[in-house]
């Protein structure tokens, strides 16, 4: 996950919690309090400090910047010893299937999500 960035978040970048829930209506108040950042998660208002921390220790409600996963496809093989291995990744299932290694024991083509 990408670390929380207050400026980006207040400028409209998508923010999520450590456990992946979307945070909406993020707003910062200028006050002499520890928690001046407020947002909505699952229709509930939650407060954080300016660093996106919910509490002093790591918590599932800590904030992070959302990173769009990139869809990729790989071919899965099993060698004669029973070891599983993957071919190189491709941007589409069709592309991956065109690259099936005829010398390997092809099992199937699978989708993977890679965070960039």
Q: Say if pTM beats, i.e. exceeds, 0.85.
A: no
- Could you tell me if 6 and 55 lie in one domain? yes
Write the DSSP symbol of residue 90: B
- Are the beta carbons of 71 and 106 closer than 8 angstroms? no
- Could you tell me if 9 and 31 lie in one domain? yes
The whole-angstrom separation of Cα 91 and Cα 54 is 37
Output the pLDDT for position 115.
56
- Could you tell me if 61 and 84 lie in one domain? no
Domain hosting residue 102, numbered range: 69-115
pLDDT at 111 over 70: yes
Residue ending a domain, choose from 45, 65, 85: 65
Banded model confidence at residue 10, pLDDT cuts 50, 70, 90: very high
pLDDT tens per residue across span 38-93:
999 999 999 999 999 998 789 999 999 998 888 899 999 998 898 999 998 898 99
- Could you tell me if 38 and 91 lie in one domain? no
- Could you tell me if 14 and 54 lie in one domain? yes
- Could you tell me if 86 and 102 lie in one domain? yes
- Could you tell me if 90 and 51 lie in one domain? no
Output the CA–CA distances (angstroms, integers) from residue 91 to 1, 64, 83, 110, 116, in the order listed: 22, 27, 25, 12, 14
Q: How many domains does the chain have?
A: 2
């Amino acid at each position: 996950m990408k670390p929380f960035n207050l400026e980006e978040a207040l400028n409209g970048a998508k923010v999520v919690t450590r456990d992946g829930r979307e945070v909406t209506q993020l707003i910062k108040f200028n006050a002499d309090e520890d928690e001046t950042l407020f947002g909505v998660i699952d229709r509930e208002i939650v407060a954080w400090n300016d660093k996106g921390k919910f509490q002093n220790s790591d918590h599932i409600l800590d904030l992070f910047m959302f990173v769009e996963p990139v869809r990729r496809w790989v071919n899965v093989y099993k060698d004669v010893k029973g070891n599983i291995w993957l071919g190189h990744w491709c941007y589409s299932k069709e592309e991956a299937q065109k690259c099936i290694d005829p010398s390997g024991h092809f099992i199937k083509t699978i989708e993977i999500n890679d965070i960039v």
